[in-house]
Amino acid sequence: MANELQVRTERDEFRELVSMAFEEAAGAFDGLHSIHGSIAERAFRRTGPGGAPAHWMHDRIATAVYGGLKGSVVGVGRVTTAAVARRPRVV
């Protein structure tokens, strides 16, 4: 029947597309972190040994921030993918 709701049992392409989109968005933070690190390395190279503590702290904070951003996108992606998988299908 045209208005009957059925449970999804076949492969859901939309769910897979949503999952892939969030994986790509999360992966973008790896590239941004790499670019940020390259720029920071160039800047800290000029500070010499006196800048080592600031360089160390900067690297730890940047890693935590980019990791948190990536983790947030991965988490939202999992929740969204689960929500998409649970939506009813009208046939």
> Is pLDDT above 60 for 4?
no
55: tokens are: 């360089």
Q: Which helix (H) or strand (E) holds 89?
A: strand 89-90
In 3D space, the residue among 31, 32, 59 whose CA is nearest the CA of residue 43 turns out to be 59
Please report which confidence band the pLDDT of residue 11 belongs to, taking 50, 70 and 90 as the band edges.
low
Helix (H) or strand (E) holding 5: strand 5-6
Q: State pLDDT tens for residues 20-77.
A: 999 999 999 999 999 999 999 999 999 999 999 999 999 999 999 999 999 999 999 9
